[in-house]
Structures are given as C-alpha cells and as structure tokens.
Amino acid sequence: MNLAFPYSDADDAEPVPTPVRRPWPHRRTVRAVPEAGPLVAMIGGGQADRTGREHLFRRLHEAGIRVVAFDRSAPAAWQRPYLVGHKWVPGMTAATLTAAVAAHPEPVNGVICWEDRHFAAAAAVADRLRLPGYGRTAATASRDRAVTRTLVEASGCAVPRSALAVDLGEAEEAAQALGYPVVLKPRLKTTGFPARLAEDHGRLITGFAATAGAASASATLGSRRGVLVEQHLDGQEIVAICLTAGGVTQLVSIVRTMVDFTPSAADLGHLVDAADPLLDDQTIRHAANVSLRALGVQDGASQVSMRLTPAGPCVMAVNAGLHDLVTRLVYLATGADLATAETMIACGAPSTVTPQRHHRVAAVTYLSAPAPGKVSRLELGAQLSDQVGRAAWLERLVLDVAPGSAVDPSPDGHTARIGLAVVTGRNRRECHERLDRLRRALKVTVVAADGSAPPAMSVSGSR
C-alpha cells in the first residue's frame, strides 16, 4: 500500500511550489523542458526505489538538466521519462565507466551518483575526465571509518575514542580499555547494516560475530577489513548537510536524527527545522568545514554526522553524496533544492543555495512492526483515514506490508520496518504531535508463529 498526496494547502504551502501539483509519487506526466540544459552522466541507480528517489529526478528534470544513465541494470519504468539515454556498463569499474562516459556522442558536462556503492567509481570518472567532482581519494576515505577518524582527528576535531579490531581478542581488549557499553561498526560502511551496541562481554561476542561478517562481506577496498570498536556517547545526533564547491563549504541544513539502540543503532527517523538554532552554532560549522577539508573534498554534497556532547560536537562520520529522503525533508522545510545544486556543482556552475529560514519543519519516521510473526490485518483507523489524501501535513504514508507479510523485529533493526511517513509542521512540537497521532491511528495485527493472535498494537517509530 503506497498512499501519497499533494502538499499544497494555501496556509501550509511548499516553500517553492510548482505550477501543477499532482498526487506524489503517482504523477505519471512529466513536464517538457523548453530548452536543452547541461548533460550529466548518472552512475548507477537503475533499480532505485521510487519512493525515495523520484523527487530527485523530478528536481533535475524541472531544472532542465538532461540525464543519461550508466549502469549494469536497465532503468526502472518510472525512471525512463526523466532520462535522455541509458548505456549498459557490465563491469561498473572506474575504467569501464570512464570509457563509456568518454565515448558518449555528446560530451557530458558533469558526473553525478546517488548510490553509495558506486560513489568512489563515479568520483574517479570525474577525476579522469577532468570534471568537477568529490575526488576519488575523498570518496574512498569517506567509506572507511578508520581512515575518516584518523584524518578528522589529525585536523583537530573531536572524534569518539575507538580501536580497530580484526578478531574477537582485539575487540575484547578495546572494550576493556574504552569501558562498556561500546559500539561496533564495520570498518567499511555497509548499506543496510547498522551499528550494534554491546553493553557487556556477552553482547560483545555476539555483536562482534555479526559485525565481522558484515565487515568481511563489504571489504571491497583491498584488505581493509575489521570492526571499529568505539566508545558510546550520549547526546543529540545530528547531520550537517553541506555543499562544497572548489573546496569551499556551505552549511545548508541541520538534520536531527533519532536512533534506537535495541541493540542495533536503527534509524527511527529524521527531522529538519528551517529555523534550527544549531545553524548558527559556530562550533558545528567549524567541525563540518574542517572535517571535509581533512578528507580533501573538492566538489559535491556531504553529510557530516556529529554527536552533540557536553564538550562540544564530536564528529562520527562523513558520508559522501545525498540521502534520498533527507534531501526531500530539506526541500520541504527550507525550499533548498539540493539535487539541482549538487548537479550544477558537478557541471562547474555552482550557485549559492539560500535556505528559507521560516517556521517550517519536516520529519520522516520509519514504522516498525510491534511483534514478530505474520501480518493478519492492517487498520488505518477512522482518524487517519480521514486525513489520507486531504491533510497537507501528511506528505506521504508508505506501507510496505499487506496481510500475509512476514515481519521480524530482529536485532539488525531493518527487517521489522513496515513503512514510513513524512509529515510537516510549523515547529518541532507540532511535527512530533502529528507523528504520535499517526502512530496511534495505524494499527497492525500480527499472528505469532504458533498461530496465536495478540491484540492489535500501534506501530513503533521515532519519538
């Protein structure tokens, strides 16, 4: 079930409204672009999820940017209206991609990538074609948590105390030195595998085994295997959304992230406040700028993750590129079009992005099942049913399960996910109230493995 609807009430309008609003993401008609704009090579993304990705394609199309895809997969049907071409590249290595892009009949103006697994290769293509880009060295470093920590710490920014462990013995020594609880992360960032919290020695053993398995599976950069064992820090987790052009960085937005360690660090949701006071915090700006300089970022978008501790911001990670839904939240809250801005930077024509600092907040919450088993019934409830398709504040509600779907709230934090919702409000309090209202109204009945049916329960999500 995929429920989405316009976002255009007069008293709660989008910051940058388009002339025509149709139910999103079901707007099949793509408006024609009057004049040919820059041509960009998109690396990967042929089978991307429509829910999180279509708005990025739409922003580029409406800005007049032409996109040709280079991928080993054919583009999904919904992507085709946004593309001017597709080139099949079986190997998806830097060499094969460079050759394919260079051989395109019309020279491309820039190279973009929205896929983590292909980002380093895309950066290498831009380097080899002498086009503006993130820089392959910076892109590779951002994927390696150990390298990122070393570079950022050497630049003078605070980072969590940590140690790299290649076996359980080294992990035990690190945990003893750091003190429990500790957080376990694969050295190389692995899509779909969250960090794990080890509160004691027993959980360290089980957590290390799972994390080491993910680390081995993701070790595509030579011999860079291992598990990062780091101290657990308290404090608000934020992400500084930045745009860099010619080595000069602009802080565009602050994303407040809600994480639940039970025992894995599963994201529960994100929130963007156009008037967030953290935007004026010079220590956050300094940490973001210094971190990106430390990695050598030249041109592109970045997400600098930090934990706000009593001693100040502590840099947790640097992620290259844009996050699908976070980019949408930034647009809904501030009107900043990150997709177009990043693409124009890649084309060597950066422009100043001026987010609107009005009272507007956007948030996404990831919905999870209340118990393991099989879904026997979904109930929206009269309160929520009345809002679907009519309430401007409910930008979208996406449910990925139906009666009969299996759900398992396992420790990896992901298989329990049954959908998501995006809401807006005039302030953070109103957003949280609307999320709570949605969670109370949405009921999921789950049948246990033994056939028993517990009472219907509200789904869980960010608080």
* Cis-peptide, bond into residue 194, ω within 30° of zero: no
Angle (nearest 5°) at CA 335 between 113 and 63: 55
| Residue whose entry in the numeric block shows the structure tokens 């992230």 | 257
Per-residue confidence (pLDDT) for residue 12, from 0 to 100: 34
CATH of the domain at 107: 3.40.50.20
Lowest mean pLDDT among 156-170, 174-188, 355-369, 401-415: 401-415
Per-residue confidence (pLDDT) for residue 415, from 0 to 100: 53
Q: Are residues 280 and 309 in the same domain?
A: yes
Per-residue confidence (pLDDT) for residue 34, from 0 to 100: 41
- Determine what percent of the chain is predicted with pLDDT higher than 70: 80
Mean pLDDT of the chain: 84
**Does 407 map to a domain?**
yes
**C-alpha R_g of the chain:** 22
Count CB neighbours of 372 within 10 A.
Answer: 15
Is the pLDDT higher at 323 or at 279? 279
Per-residue confidence (pLDDT) for residue 383, from 0 to 100: 60
Q: Which amino acid is located at 118 in the chain?
A: H
* Cis-peptide, bond into residue 263, ω within 30° of zero: yes
End-of-domain residue from the set 346, 370, 400 = 346
Q: Are residues 312 and 243 in the same domain?
A: yes
Whole-model pTM: value is: 0.85
Q: Cβ(321)–Cβ(114) under 8 Å?
A: yes
Q: Cβ(117)–Cβ(145) under 8 Å?
A: no
Is the pLDDT higher at 215 or at 118? 118
Is the pLDDT higher at 77 or at 461? 77
Alpha carbon distance 330, 253 (integer Å)? 7
Q: Are residues 43 and 111 in the same domain?
A: yes
Angle (nearest 5°) at CA 261 between 333 and 402: 70
206-235 exposure pattern, b = at least 16 Cβ within 10 A, e = fewer: ebbebbbebbeebbeeeebbbbbbbbbbee
253-275 exposure pattern, b = at least 16 Cβ within 10 A, e = fewer: bbbbbbbbbebbbbbbbbbbbbb
End-of-domain residue from the set 131, 149, 182 = 131
Lowest mean pLDDT among 43-57, 285-299, 336-350: 43-57
Q: Are residues 319 and 388 in the same domain?
A: no
**Does 18 map to a domain?**
no
Lowest mean pLDDT among 72-76, 201-205, 373-377, 389-393: 389-393
What are the CA-CA distances from residue 202 to residues 165, 195, 228, 263, 459 (Å)?
Answer: 17, 17, 18, 12, 30
Residue 17, pLDDT > 80, answer: no
Predicted confidence (pLDDT) per residue in 339-388, tens digit: 999 999 999 998 888 888 778 999 999 887 767 788 888 877 666 666 66
Q: Are residues 69 and 173 in the same domain?
A: no
Q: Are residues 111 and 68 in the same domain?
A: yes
What are the CA-CA distances from residue 250 to residues 244, 284, 290, 359 (Å)?
Answer: 6, 12, 12, 21
Is the pLDDT higher at 449 or at 238? 238
Q: Are residues 270 and 204 in the same domain?
A: no
Sign of CA dihedral 333, 335, 339, 344: negative
Q: Are residues 227 and 248 in the same domain?
A: no
Q: Are residues 292 and 215 in the same domain?
A: no
Question: What range defines the domain where residue 407 resides?
Answer: 361-458
SS3 448: coil
Per-residue confidence (pLDDT) for residue 297, from 0 to 100: 98
Lowest mean pLDDT among 55-64, 208-217, 379-388: 379-388
Predicted confidence (pLDDT) per residue in 427-448, tens digit: 999 999 998 888 888 888 888 7
Q: Are residues 257 and 223 in the same domain?
A: no
Q: Are residues 401 and 432 in the same domain?
A: yes
Q: Cβ(158)–Cβ(170) under 8 Å?
A: no
Alpha carbon distance 320, 69 (integer Å)? 20
Find the mean pLDDT for residues 394-415.
74
Per-residue confidence (pLDDT) for residue 4, from 0 to 100: 34
CATH of the domain at 420: 3.30.470.20
**Does 400 map to a domain?**
yes
Instruction: List, in order, residues 6 or more apart from 451 with CB less than 8 Å away.
Output: none
Per-residue confidence (pLDDT) for residue 189, from 0 to 100: 84
Q: Cβ(8)–Cβ(389) under 8 Å?
A: no
Closest residue by Cα to residue 166 from 223, 100, 99, 119: 223
Count CB neighbours of 71 within 10 A.
Answer: 23
Find the mean pLDDT for residues 174-197.
88
**Does 17 map to a domain?**
no
**Does 10 map to a domain?**
no
**Confidence bin at 8 (pLDDT 50/70/90):** very low
**Does 85 map to a domain?**
yes
Per-residue confidence (pLDDT) for residue 13, from 0 to 100: 35
Per-residue confidence (pLDDT) for residue 285, from 0 to 100: 98
Residue 409, pLDDT > 90, answer: no
**Does 28 map to a domain?**
no
Backbone angles phi, psi at 103, to 5 degrees: -85, -5
Per-residue confidence (pLDDT) for residue 262, from 0 to 100: 56
What are the CA-CA distances from residue 414 to residues 152, 264, 315 (Å)?
Answer: 30, 9, 25
**Does 267 map to a domain?**
yes
Alpha carbon distance 218, 193 (integer Å)? 10
**Confidence bin at 3 (pLDDT 50/70/90):** very low
Number of domains in the chain: 4
Alpha carbon distance 71, 247 (integer Å)? 29
CATH of the domain at 215: 3.30.1490.20
Per-residue confidence (pLDDT) for residue 453, from 0 to 100: 58
Count CB neighbours of 15 within 10 A.
Answer: 16
What are the CA-CA distances from residue 301 to residues 307, 324, 337, 339 (Å)?
Answer: 20, 12, 12, 9
Lowest mean pLDDT among 74-83, 365-374, 447-456: 447-456
Find the mean pLDDT for residues 312-330.
94
**Confidence bin at 264 (pLDDT 50/70/90):** low
End-of-domain residue from the set 178, 211, 231 = 231
Q: Are residues 370 and 447 in the same domain?
A: yes
Residue 23, pLDDT > 70, answer: no
Predicted confidence (pLDDT) per residue in 96-147, tens digit: 999 999 999 999 999 999 999 899 999 999 999 999 999 999 999 999 999 9
SS3 217: helix
Per-residue confidence (pLDDT) for residue 315, from 0 to 100: 98
